Amino acid sequence: MEQTLIYQYVLFIGIAIGTASLIRKHIFFLTRVSSYSMVPTLQPKDLLFTLRIHDFQTIRRGDILVFYSDELQDTLVKRVIGLPEDVVSIDDDGAVSVNQTELDEPYVDYPSRSDGRFEVPPNNYLFLGDNRAASHDSRSFADPFIHEGKIRGKVLFSIFPFHLL
């Protein structure tokens, strides 16, 4: 009887660990913010609930995504500004336009004084941090575009401290 009980506990724990691993690999994961690049929206050390993306057609301009940068060899959290085949322009005052339409960006407190023009290739995205003056993002990458295969997920909310995005 005691061996059966031990076996049931071991089996339950094994199934629970296996299920948690599958959920983490295919459905959602947690991400910790490691820099000031998304201030004021996100703060360093915020813990984020991130939904894995399986359909890239669901990505919208303004979404906050987690992606891997080959250049930095790091996982980053930034806001999508340029979608595939967009033309993104940043003027001398930091105003961002996409396809010749200026974006309303209430989440940006400190626009940067850097300018540039980016033609986003198919299956690629352009990312900027909300704290433009202090963000290391697409503007400063040798290759400013992130391929969809490097996108890990979409941030839905901050778990700690809790707030919706």
- Residues forming the active site: 37, 78
Half-sphere exposure of 152 (CA within 13 A, CB side): 20
Q: Which residue, 110, 35, 117, is CA-closest to 78?
A: 35
Neighbours of 140 (CB within 10 A): 11
Pairing relation of β-strands 87-90 and 74-82?
unpaired
CA–CA separation, 23 and 19 (whole Å): 6
**Quick check: helix, strand or coil at residue 39?**
coil
Q: Which residue, 65, 36, 44, 35, is CA-closest to 131?
A: 36
